[in-house]
């Protein structure tokens, strides 16, 4: 029988988005940790990505007693003054409608339509101060292209890679993405050691 102390620590991901949860599984590979996806019961009414990320992480940590990751991210389009920003995921009921709104607002504006993805990643644990890590990825908006991913991935082009997020294999997307950058900042901090997350092998 495996002793309880030999089991990997549990870490909650405050999200009901399977695409996002799968990205965290990849990005945290190499650490001995068991991820558990738990949808946060909160209203995302923060005034920044970081505030919303903290709301989600702390809600799940307080409800479960587990350390929890919560993130909030957004697409900021320069010709539209940073729109949709904080409202990226709530701009319309479906992603197809969100894409349509963005392209309609960009119609007639000179290209390239420069944009960035921003991710704020909060780590909350009972009895510990909540920490926030920020990741960004610069790119351009293009008409949606086929492939994988989720959200605005089909229309976010990384010029240096020559591909949209949706056209990239998962490992390549992780190297470029805003979420990947935020997780790398987390992994290079003292937080994993504080939470007992050790490297495998």
| Active site residue ranges | 72
φ, ψ of residue 186 to 5 degrees: the values are: -60, -50
Give the per-residue SS3 of 85-128.
HHHHHHCCCCHHHHHHHHHHHHCCCCCCEEEEEEEEEEEEECCE
**CA atoms of 39 and 133, how far apart (whole Å):** 20
Total residue count of the chain as it appears in this document: 201
User: How large is the C-alpha radius of gyration of the chain?
Assistant: 18
Q: Which long-range contacts (CB under 8 A, 24 or more apart) does 151-156 make?
A: 151/19, 151/88, 151/89, 151/95, 152/75, 152/88, 152/95, 152/98, 152/99, 152/102, 152/117, 154/99, 155/99, 155/102, 155/103, 156/75, 156/115, 156/117
Query: What stretches of 126-173 adopt beta strand conformation (E)?
Result: 128-141, 156-158, 163-164
């Amino acid at each position: 029988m495996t002793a309880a102390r030999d089991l990997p620590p549990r870490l909650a991901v405050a999200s009901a988005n399977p695409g996002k949860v799968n990205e965290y599984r990849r990005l945290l590979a190499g650490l001995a940790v068991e991820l558990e996806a738990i949808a946060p019961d909160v209203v995302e009414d923060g005034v920044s990505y970081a505030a919303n990320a903290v709301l989600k992480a702390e809600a799940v940590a307080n409800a479960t007693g587990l350390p929890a990751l919560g993130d909030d991210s957004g697409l900021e389009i320069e010709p539209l003054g940073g729109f949709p920003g904080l409202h990226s995921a709530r701009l319309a009921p479906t992603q197809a409608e969100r894409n349509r709104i963005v392209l309609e607002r960009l119609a007639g504006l000179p290209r390239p339509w420069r944009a960035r993805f921003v991710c704020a990643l909060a780590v909350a644990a009972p009895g510990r101060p909540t920490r926030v890590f920020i990741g960004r990825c610069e790119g351009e908006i293009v008409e949606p292209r086929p492939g994988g991913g989720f959200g605005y991935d089909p229309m976010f082009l990384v010029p240096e890679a020559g591909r949209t997020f949706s056209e990239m294999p998962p490992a390549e997307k992780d190297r470029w993405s805003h979420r990947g950058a935020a997780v790398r900042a987390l992994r290079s901090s003292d937080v994993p050691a504080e939470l007992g997350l050790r490297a495998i092998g």
